[in-house]
Amino acid sequence: MSTQYNELSGRSVERLRALTDGVFAIAMTLLVLDLRLPESRANDDHELWSQLIGLGP
């Protein structure tokens, strides 16, 4: 083999970009799956929805 590995793999960063996108997607999914809503009472539901609506555009 006269061609070095770095010459073959170093020309395109698409594989590295795809790998980092995949790692980022997995990490964000794990973070989102860990979200929990606080225990709510009857009055807190209305307050929660009014705050969520306030965050909207």
Task: Please report, in tens digits, the pLDDT of each residue of the chain (57 residues total).
Answer: 556 666 656 666 778 888 999 999 999 998 888 777 666 665 677 787 888 888 887
User: What is the pLDDT at residue 15?
Assistant: 81
pTM across the whole model: 0.43
Measured distance CA(6)–CA(50) in Å, rounded: 57
The torsion region of residue 48 among left (phi > 0), alpha (psi -120 to 50) and beta comes to alpha
pLDDT at 27: 93
Place of tokens 């860990």: 34
Residue 49's pLDDT is: 82
pLDDT in the model for residue 21: 95
